[in-house]
């Protein structure tokens, strides 16, 4: 039987550049959240399992808003940028098959 490799986000976190934009998508809900920097991704995702990694174009707060304390799109209103980012699909449950 083939052994599955279940990578947790906390193990991947250290390999992501601190300057990369990120989109974290949850498999169970298909909802995503965007982060300008890896340091902004909450530790609550650390024990989630990585299901996939790719690139996407997503909405991000502008740098001006970010450095003025606005961290999420809802608070930014109509001011946002569409930028290319790393997208990571996470799940609460480990993979059971390839």
pLDDT digits (tens, 9 = 90+) for 9-60: 999 999 999 889 999 999 999 999 999 999 999 999 999 999 999 999 999 9
- Residue-level pLDDT at 98: 55
Residue 87 domain boundaries: 18-91
Residue 12 lies in a domain: no
Q: Is residue 6 part of a domain?
A: no
User: Does 9 fall in a domain?
Assistant: no
Q: Token pair for residue 95? A: 């993979």
For residue 97, the model assigns a pLDDT of 62
Answer yes or no: is 85 within a domain: yes
- CA distance linking residue 30 with residue 66, whole number of Å: 25
If one counts the domains in the chain, the total is 1
Is residue 35 in some structural domain?
Answer: yes
CA distance 58 to 12: 21
Spatial CB neighbours of 93, under 8 Å, sequence gap ≥ 6 = 49
For residue 4, tell me if it sits in a domain: no
Answer yes or no: is 37 within a domain: yes
């Amino acid at each position: 039987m083939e052994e599955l490799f279940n990578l947790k986000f906390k193990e991947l976190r250290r390999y992501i550049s601190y300057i990369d934009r990120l989109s974290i998508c949850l498999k169970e809900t298909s909802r995503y959240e965007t982060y300008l920097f890896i340091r902004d991704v909450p530790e609550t995702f650390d024990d989630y399992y990585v299901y996939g990694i790719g690139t996407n174009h997503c909405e991000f707060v502008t740098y001006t808003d970010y450095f003025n304390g606005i961290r999420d799109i809802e608070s930014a209103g109509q001011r946002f940028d569409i930028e290319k980012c790393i997208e990571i699909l996470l799940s609460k449950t480990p993979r059971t098959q390839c």
